[in-house]
Amino acid sequence: MARPRRTRRKKAAGVSKRGLPPGVPVYTGEARDTPVSVHMLDYTGDALTEASDPTLERLAACVRPDTVTWIDLDGVHQVDRIQEVAATFTLHPLWVEDLLNPSSRPKAEWLDDRLFVLIRVLSPKGEDFEVEQIALVMGPGFVLSFQERPGDVWEPVRTRIRERLGRIRDRGADYLLHALMDVVVDGYLAVLQGIETRVDTLEDSALQPRAASDLLEQVTALKSDLAVVRSAVWPLREAVSALVAGEGSLVEARTVPYFRDIADHLAMLVDGVDSGRERLLTIVDLHLAQTSHQLNEVMRVLTVVSTVFIPLSFIVGLYGMNFDHMPELHYNWGYPAVLGLMAVVAGSMLAFFRRNGWF
């Protein structure tokens, strides 16, 4: 049975960026009616403050050198709201344009004391997965995260902050950025494991005498899923490699090894995607070979049957000729003799074919 397909994004009605200059904020994603929600976490090693939908003034006031402030926005469809936040934290207009466009390519860019990271989140959903674009902005003492839709993708990080798990409360904004990106990469691993499980099942199915009728359709769907994973992983791998190489001044030296760990996981993901694609090609070759073998078996049986009937047709045709003088036609034993001859010929040929392993 074919798996359910991912839901395509619905474009905002009547939205077009054609002819507009670069940096003009236009939301091109799915139209939504819900307001953009803002959640803030401001913490140090000893204190934690949380707030929902705080004012811009409070957000700006919370950003201090001695604390780490994480501001998470659920939804980017309200352009005015996003512009207000962007102006408060001095985001480049081109970054705002990119985060409002769900089809932007994942990347990482430095500008002065700001780091902009655009990534795709893959969230497992049964045998399928959902794709969402997320933007992360890091500055001195703060991290902004922009999500397309409400969700709990960041809940593991919030739990670590609230319960002081690990070292996140004792590190700076760069470690928070690492924690958020690490959650995204964990999602990639979960999605790839799900795809590999489906490839294993499909591989077993291809080895059966009668493979599923929609096997090639399933292979095509899996290749499409692997392409989505690769399109999310490969650009992020380049971005993390730039962070590991020491580009920018916001990432502390003690945090670089953690980004290097993410880079290793991304390299493993790329290898896993490539391996999955090769396995799918092998499954297709195996399926075609299996189909060809089954066809050859059918043709061999038909050939044996046709070959057996060639001399029988000759005998029947011989005695079916319209001559006046054919002595055998007047013998009482003529008919059974011909039937016996035909049986002997057919049996001899079948025995010969069987002895040679032809059927």
Helix (H) or strand (E) holding 51: strand 48-52
- In this prediction, residues 103-115 reach a mean pLDDT of 86
Q: Bigger pLDDT: 239 or 276?
A: 276
pLDDT of 137 higher than 90: yes
Q: Bigger pLDDT: 131 or 18?
A: 131
Least confident among 64-73, 243-252, 347-356: 243-252
Q: Bigger pLDDT: 98 or 319?
A: 98
Band the pLDDT of 1: cuts 50, 70, 90.
very low
Find all residues with CB under 8 Å of 311, minimum gap 6, and list them: 345, 346, 349
Q: What pLDDT, on the 0 to 100 scale, is given for residue 25?
A: 82
The CA distance from 205 to 125, in Å, is: 23
Mean pLDDT taken over the chain? 84
Whether 31 contacts 12, CB under 8 Å: yes
Report the percentage of the chain scoring pLDDT > 90.
30
Band the pLDDT of 5: cuts 50, 70, 90.
very low
Domains in the chain: ranges and CATH: 37-289 (3.30.460.20), 319-355 (no CATH)
Q: What pLDDT, on the 0 to 100 scale, is given for residue 327?
A: 75
Least confident among 2-16, 155-169, 246-260, 264-278: 2-16
Given the DSSP bridges, would you call strands 48-52 and 68-74 parallel, antiparallel or unpaired? Answer: unpaired
Q: Residues 159-187: pLDDT tens digits?
A: 999 999 989 999 999 999 999 999 999 99
Whether 222 contacts 199, CB under 8 Å: yes
The CA distance from 81 to 75, in Å, is: 10
The CA distance from 116 to 138, in Å, is: 7
pLDDT of 13 higher than 60: no
pLDDT of 4 higher than 60: no
b/e 194-232 (16+ beta carbons within 10 angstroms → b): bbbebbeebeeebeeeebbeebeebbebbeebbebbbeb
Q: Residues 42-91: pLDDT tens digits?
A: 999 889 999 988 888 888 888 888 899 999 999 888 889 999 999 999 89
Q: What pLDDT, on the 0 to 100 scale, is given for residue 248?
A: 62
* 3-state SS, residue 109: strand
Q: Bigger pLDDT: 212 or 38?
A: 38
Q: What pLDDT, on the 0 to 100 scale, is given for residue 188?
A: 92
Q: What pLDDT, on the 0 to 100 scale, is given for residue 151?
A: 75
- In this prediction, residues 311-335 reach a mean pLDDT of 76
Q: What pLDDT, on the 0 to 100 scale, is given for residue 247?
A: 63
Q: What CA–CA distances, in Å, run from 139 to 68, 136, 145, 288, 345?
A: 10, 10, 12, 55, 92
Q: What pLDDT, on the 0 to 100 scale, is given for residue 148?
A: 85
Taking the model in full, what pTM does it have? 0.78
